[in-house]
């Protein structure tokens, strides 16, 4: 047995030599992203080998830069464990905007402009000749010449004299945008972390980042527990107005959920909550406002006005999050109406604002957001797609977590599938739902209107396929995708198809109206970006077949960019310049209120028909 020490947590795992490193990590319960399924093509499982050796494999020399190879960066899926190792988990940030975080003059090293900075200092001890106060002594050592002296909070001030003396005037000062927020004995400059959160209507995702180098150390996600108060934003707003203490209840649910996620991230990585200094949040208008505990009533009524819109800095203490007591919470700016901070975060991470030509971006969630860049101007709209693509309202739906079927294929005239984490299937997530719909249309199990054939009419189908079509309790057809070892059937029902049609129809109708408003057509679109936390990368052909992506746009022009909202929240954590940038961009975006458009209902109805 060999031993692998996994940093930053320091966890020790054991495995048989000859195993792939990715496999060893996975068996030990350490999830690393591997959307390419271990083919060595996506680069998401990047690790750094600190001790031990691994000969670079062809896939690695192809994907990684020479500098990365030289610095012992490797892909966990390509690395064979041959002896004891010490590795550091990390993640490639190739998808993040280069303009903000990288500088080509420094060999591609990212520039971090985090709000929080830790500095180790060794101070001269006070003497009769040098009677400066504790705070001044510290600040003059931390500040660059001529900078303003940091402010300080009362709690930090009260701790300062004792800590300074216990530490013999050697320690680490934490300064957050000109405020001294902590002083710790010894050199703790490496322990500087932040958490980025994407609060979706249905799914909440969080990532913990090392603010000294920008590395993402772990991610976690959970169902938004507010779903029990309503599964879309309007029903949650109504809940606040109709239930006694409704706002408080619904706020507590999301705050508790974030608390659990942050605790999980700390456990996964060994990071101390005290060393988390900032939390950035990207959520739609309603999600952000509910998090703050501000009554969302005015968002739900004409003319759909939120209480705040610019990027907002609050105290983490007001939410009792398990982070440093002086930590802050940054909420991404709201664009208008229901188009909120998740969209601004998507705009930030996708860099759509930098494009020259016409670009369309769709962020799929329970609230679907559509962003269009046309004629140098940004337009944004929101459409109630419903939670189908996040697995809710789908009979066997689930979010993209271990046990979710994330891919469905036809192999040997039968259905084949893959499961996240390689485990037994439990349900079906968004990417597999798109696959399944596309396949059922392709193999004629379903027609253009979404009507499934009944078992008695399945004669022309391959026998294994035909056998999967049954009648449910309600007398409607359903299609068997998988069966759990316990014999539970994972099927796609007629009602599931209808939910999917509603989601896709809302988005396509929105896209059509946005293009019309901006006076452009599909032929003008140079690029289309699809964002969302479905699970695997979705196949563009399947998404077009299932009606999610317009057939009118050439397949090569379409890119799936993953959870761009979370990526934006991470950027906001790493760069206060990025926050200023998105705040100023948001001030210039034209918000289009789709619900007020007279054509919307008609567009919606026709968009529910699958492409022929």
35, 43, 337, 550: residue in contact with its own copies (rule CB under 8 A): 337
Residue 134 binding its own copies, by CB under 8 A: yes
Structure tokens at 547: 């009606």
Phi and psi at residue 508, to the nearest 5°: -65, -40
Residue 165 binding its own copies, by CB under 8 A: yes
Cβ of residue 298: shortest distance to its own copies, in angstroms? 5
66, 104, 144, 158: residue in contact with its own copies (rule CB under 8 A): 158
- Which region among 7-15, 47-55, 209-217, 302-310 touches its own copies (by CB under 8 A)? 302-310
Read off the DSSP letter of residue 309: -
Residue 292 binding its own copies, by CB under 8 A: yes
What's the CA gap between 188 and 118, in Å, rounded?
8
Q: Determine contact, residues 333/482, Cβ cutoff 8 Å.
A: no
Using the minimum distance from each CB to its own copies, give the nearer residue, 66 or 588: 588
Structure tokens at 53: 């050796």
Using the minimum distance from each CB to its own copies, give the nearer residue, 69 or 143: 143
Phi and psi at residue 491, to the nearest 5°: -120, 160
Residue 320 binding its own copies, by CB under 8 A: no
Using the minimum distance from each CB to its own copies, give the nearer residue, 529 or 582: 582
State yes or no: cis peptide before 580, omega within 30 of 0.
no
Closest to 451 in 3D by CA, of 497, 418, 520, 411:
497
Strand partners, 225: none
Angle at 326 between CA 320 and CA 329, to 5 degrees: 65
Residue 308 binding its own copies, by CB under 8 A: yes
Q: Determine contact, residues 393/499, Cβ cutoff 8 Å.
A: yes
Q: Using CB under 8 A as the criterion, what x/- string covers residues 578-607 for binding its own copies?
A: -------------x-x--x-----------
14, 99, 133, 449: residue in contact with its own copies (rule CB under 8 A): 133
105, 107, 127, 486: residue in contact with its own copies (rule CB under 8 A): 127
Quick one: CA torsion of 455, 458, 463, 468, rounded to 10 degrees? Answer: -40
Q: Determine contact, residues 100/581, Cβ cutoff 8 Å.
A: yes
293, 300, 455, 462: residue in contact with its own copies (rule CB under 8 A): 293
Residue 157 binding its own copies, by CB under 8 A: yes
How many residues make contact with its own copies (CB under 8 A)? 47
What's the CA gap between 35 and 198, in Å, rounded?
20
Phi and psi at residue 556, to the nearest 5°: -70, -20
Residue 306 binding its own copies, by CB under 8 A: yes
- Which region among 19-27, 152-160, 472-480, 601-609 touches its own copies (by CB under 8 A)? 152-160
Cβ of residue 440: shortest distance to its own copies, in angstroms? 41
239, 277, 304, 560: residue in contact with its own copies (rule CB under 8 A): 304
Strand partners, 331: 281, 312
Cβ of residue 608: shortest distance to its own copies, in angstroms? 27
Residue 487 binding its own copies, by CB under 8 A: no
Using the minimum distance from each CB to its own copies, give the nearer residue, 294 or 561: 294
Element of type H or E holding 374: strand 368-374
86, 109, 297, 539: residue in contact with its own copies (rule CB under 8 A): 297
Residue 245 binding its own copies, by CB under 8 A: no
Q: Determine contact, residues 516/331, Cβ cutoff 8 Å.
A: no
Cβ of residue 134: shortest distance to its own copies, in angstroms? 5
56, 171, 214, 336: residue in contact with its own copies (rule CB under 8 A): 336
Q: Can you say whether the dihedral through the CA atoms of 43, 44, 50, 53 is positive or negative?
A: negative
Using the minimum distance from each CB to its own copies, give the nearer residue, 175 or 389: 175
In this structure, which long-range contacts are made by residues 554-559, counting pairs with CB atoms below 8 Å and at least 24 apart in sequence? 557/525, 557/526, 557/527, 557/528, 558/527, 558/528, 558/529, 558/530, 559/527, 559/528, 559/529, 559/530
Cβ of residue 297: shortest distance to its own copies, in angstroms? 7
Using the minimum distance from each CB to its own copies, give the nearer residue, 304 or 500: 304
For residue 167, CA distances in Å to 85, 119, 120, 184, 271 come to 34, 15, 12, 8, 22
What's the CA gap between 29 and 61, in Å, rounded?
28
Using the minimum distance from each CB to its own copies, give the nearer residue, 288 or 496: 288
DSSP strand E in 375-449: where?
377-383, 404-411, 414-419, 427-428
Using the minimum distance from each CB to its own copies, give the nearer residue, 178 or 483: 178
Cβ of residue 99: shortest distance to its own copies, in angstroms? 23
Give the footprint of its own copies on this chain (CB under 8 A).
126-128, 130-136, 149, 151-154, 157-158, 160-162, 165, 292-295, 297-298, 302-310, 312-315, 318, 334, 336-337, 591, 593, 596
């Amino acid at each position: 047995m060999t031993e692998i020490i996994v940093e930053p947590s320091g966890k020790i795992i054991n495995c048989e030599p000859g195993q792939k490193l990715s496999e060893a990590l996975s068996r030990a319960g350490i999830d690393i992203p591997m959307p390419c399924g271990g083919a060595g093509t996506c680069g998401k499982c990047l690790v750094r080998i600190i001790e031990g050796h691994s000969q670079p494999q062809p896939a690695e020399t192809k994907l990684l830069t020479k500098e990365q190879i030289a610095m012992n960066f490797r892909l966990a899926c390509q690395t064979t464990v041959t002896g004891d190792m010490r590795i550091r988990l990390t993640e490639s940030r190739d998808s993040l905007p280069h303009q903000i975080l990288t500088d080509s003059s420094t060999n591609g090293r990212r520039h971090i402009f985090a709000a929080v900075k830790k500095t180790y200092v060794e101070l001269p001890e006070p003497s009769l000749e040098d009677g400066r106060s504790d705070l001044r002594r510290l600040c003059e050592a931390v500040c660059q010449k001529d900078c303003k002296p940091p402010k300080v909070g009362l709690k930090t001030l009260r701790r300062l004299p004792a800590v300074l003396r216990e530490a013999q005037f050697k320690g680490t000062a934490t300064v957050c945008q000109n405020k001294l927020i902590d002083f710790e004995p010894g050199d703790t400059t490496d322990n500087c972390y932040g958490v980025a959160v994407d609060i979706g209507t249905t799914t909440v995702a969080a990532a913990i980042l090392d603010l000294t180098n920008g590395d993402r150390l772990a991610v976690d996600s959970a169902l938004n527990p507010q779903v029990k108060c309503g599964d879309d934003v309007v029903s949650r707003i109504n809940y606040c107005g109709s239930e006694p203490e409704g706002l408080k209840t619904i706020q507590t649910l999301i705050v508790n959920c974030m608390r659990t996620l942050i605790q999980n991230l700390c456990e996964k990585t060994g990071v101390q909550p005290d060393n988390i200094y900032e939390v950035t949040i990207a959520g739609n208008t309603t999600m952000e406002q509910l998090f703050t505990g501000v009554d969302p009533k005015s968002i739900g009524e004409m003319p759909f006005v939120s209480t705040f819109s610019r990027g907002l800095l609050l105290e983490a203490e007001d939410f009792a999050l398990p982070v440093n007591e002086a930590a802050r919470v940054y909420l991404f700016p709201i664009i208008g109406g229901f188009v909120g901070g998740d969209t601004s975060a998507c705009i930030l991470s996708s860099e759509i604002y930098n494009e020259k030509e016409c670009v369309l971006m769709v962020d799929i969630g329970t609230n679907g957001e559509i962003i269009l860049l046309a004629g140098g101007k940004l337009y944004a709209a929101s459409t109630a797609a419903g939670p189908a693509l996040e697995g809710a309202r789908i009979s066997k739906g689930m979010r993209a977590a271990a046990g979710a079927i994330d891919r469905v294929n036809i192999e040997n005239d039968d259905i084949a599938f893959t499961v996240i984490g390689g485990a037994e299937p439990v349900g079906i997530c968004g990417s597999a739902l798109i696959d399944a719909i596309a396949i059922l249309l392709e193999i004629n199990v379903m027609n253009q209107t979404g009507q499934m054939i009944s078992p008695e009419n399945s004669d022309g189908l391959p026998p294994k396929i035909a056998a999967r079509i049954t009648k449910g309790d309600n007398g409607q057809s359903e299609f068997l995708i998988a069966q759990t070892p316990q014999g539970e059937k994972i099927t796609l029902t007629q009602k599931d198809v209808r939910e999917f049609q509603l989601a896709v129809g809302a988005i396509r109708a929105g896209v059509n109206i946005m293009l019309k408003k901006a006076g452009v057509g599909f032929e003008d679109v140079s690029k289309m970006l699809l964002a969302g936390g479905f699970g695997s990368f979705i196949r563009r052909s399947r998404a077009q077949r299932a009606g999610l992506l317009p057939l009118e746009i050439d397949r090569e022009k379409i890119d799936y960019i993953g959870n761009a909202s979370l990526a934006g929240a991470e950027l906001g954590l790493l760069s206060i310049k990025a926050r200023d940038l998105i705040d100023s961009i948001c001030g210039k975006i034209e918000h289009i209120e789709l619900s007020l458009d007279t054509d919307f209902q008609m567009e919606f109805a026709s968009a529910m028909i699958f492409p022929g």
